[in-house]
């Protein structure tokens, strides 16, 4: 690679050298500030609205000076605070995992399910339900996490076979094959065990309801490590976006960088799926929205996705509580129904810009 090409690629990707300054930094700061405001509004709405509305004054009192036996305070502290925090952490994990998957595979329609992580977690949960009689969300937790991790290890290991090693195409193909196999096994079990079907389908839809704080505190360390790895992988993803050969020319260890990204995806997606179920659309749509807002620099995309993810998931959860009150629709259903048209608009806009 010539020195001129190396310099241009370095400036474009941020693969080495200082972080972007000037206009890019100012734009990024404004986007992050706006998203922090939206996130604050989403968090507030999640605490205030539901089957029964609670005033802001009562929410504040419940948080800082709770009264024993007060129904509103019990609703806020015991039900809405846990599901809001789960939505915050789970949404951030799903959004960042989706951004990492699209970056490492160079596939704009990739999501965490592309590595077979969702199907691996689903199969493990079904084994826990059907074979071991596990029925609680806390009980599903470690099975879902283990299934996600095993799926990622199997897919990455299979994709690494061959002289060329891991490539984006091989990751996608092996992940699709693993997903098809796991889905077939899931179908066989569900057809033969009606009780397992009833318990499994509630988790499969994806929801923030009835998630105790124990679930969050258990997976939070994994999410934190995953987010740190994701932030560290920004420059690697910028280099990989130009192709493996260019990335190597810029001094990146492609194999180690791709393994770092996959590890972050496993930690983030495994944690999120174990908490809220396999809500796939957040990881697919959030990175596209992030690119519209901030551009193609993954150092910013990761940060913006970490804020957009919980905004989208919490907003879907609040809408699900309001549309059929006093009942509710699961957040996974709302995300799919409302988000699909948004993604179509993003795709149309991207194609128009490319043209």
Is the CB of residue 264 less than 8 Å from the CB of residue 230? yes
Reference 243, options 173, 168, 299; nearest CA is 168
For residue 154, being part of any structural domain is answered with yes
pLDDT value for 56? 94
pLDDT value for 49? 94
For residue 13, being part of any structural domain is answered with no
For residue 194, being part of any structural domain is answered with yes
pLDDT value for 347? 65
For residue 198, being part of any structural domain is answered with yes
For residue 8, being part of any structural domain is answered with no
Domain count for the chain: 1
pLDDT value for 159? 83
pLDDT value for 10? 47
Tens of pLDDT, residue by residue over 248-302, are 887 777 878 888 898 999 899 888 988 888 887 888 889 988 998 999 899 999 9
Looking up residue 201, the CATH number of its domain turns out to be: 1.10.3470.10
Q: State the Cα–Cα distance between residues 150 and 165, nearest whole angstrom.
A: 19
pLDDT value for 193? 79
Q: State the Cα–Cα distance between residues 142 and 153, nearest whole angstrom.
A: 16
What string of H, E and C letters represents the secondary structure of 102-159?
Answer: HHHHCCCCCCHHHHCHHHHHHHHHHHHHHHHCCCCHHHHHHHHHHHHHHHHHHHHHHH
Task: Tell me the whole-structure pTM to 2 decimals.
Answer: 0.87
pLDDT value for 285? 87
Q: State the Cα–Cα distance between residues 125 and 147, nearest whole angstrom.
A: 8
pLDDT value for 9? 45
Residues of the chain with pLDDT under 70: 1-24, 339, 342-343, 346-347, 349-355
pLDDT value for 339? 67
Is the CB of residue 177 less than 8 Å from the CB of residue 161? no
Q: Residue 288: phi, psi to the nearest 5?
A: -65, -45
For residue 7, being part of any structural domain is answered with no
């Amino acid at each position: 690679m010539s020195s001129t090409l190396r310099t241009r690629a370095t400036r474009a990707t941020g693969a080495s050298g200082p972080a972007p300054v000037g206009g890019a930094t100012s734009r990024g700061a404004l986007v992050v500030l706006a998203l922090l405001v939206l996130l604050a509004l989403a968090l507030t709405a999640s605490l205030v609205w539901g089957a029964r509305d609670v005033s802001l004054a009562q929410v504040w009192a419940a948080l800082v000076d709770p009264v024993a036996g007060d129904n509103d305070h019990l609703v806020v502290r015991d039900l809405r605070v846990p599901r809001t925090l789960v939505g915050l952490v789970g949404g951030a994990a799903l959004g960042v995992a989706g951004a990492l998957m699209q970056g490492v595979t160079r596939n704009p329609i990739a999501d965490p399910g592309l590595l077979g992580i969702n199907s691996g977690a689903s199969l493990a949960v079904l084994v826990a339900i059907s074979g071991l009689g596990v029925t609680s969300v806390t009980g599903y937790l470690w099975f879902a996490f283990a299934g996600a991790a095993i799926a990622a290890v199997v897919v990455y290991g299979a994709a690494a076979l061959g002289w060329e090693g891991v490539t984006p195409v091989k990751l996608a193909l092996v992940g699709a094959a693993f997903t098809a196999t796991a889905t077939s096994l899931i179908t066989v079990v569900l057809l033969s065990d009606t009780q397992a079907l009833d318990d499994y389908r509630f988790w499969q839809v994806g929801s923030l309801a009835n998630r105790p704080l124990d679930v969050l505190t258990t997976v939070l360390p994994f999410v934190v490590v995953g987010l740190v790895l994701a932030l560290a992988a920004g420059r690697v993803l910028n280099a990989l976006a130009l192709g493996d050969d260019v990335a190597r020319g810029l001094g990146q260890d492609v194999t180690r960088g791709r393994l770092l990204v996959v590890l972050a995806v496993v930690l983030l997606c495994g944690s999120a799926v174990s908490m809220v179920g396999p809500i796939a659309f957040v990881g697919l749509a959030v990175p596209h929205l992030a690119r519209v807002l901030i551009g193609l620099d993954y150092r910013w995309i990761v940060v913006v996705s970490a804020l957009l993810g919980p905004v989208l998931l919490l907003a879907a959860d609040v809408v699900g509580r309001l549309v059929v009150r006093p009942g509710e629709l699961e957040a996974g259903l709302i995300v799919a129904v409302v988000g699909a048209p948004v993604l179509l608009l993003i795709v149309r806009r991207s194609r128009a810009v490319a043209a």
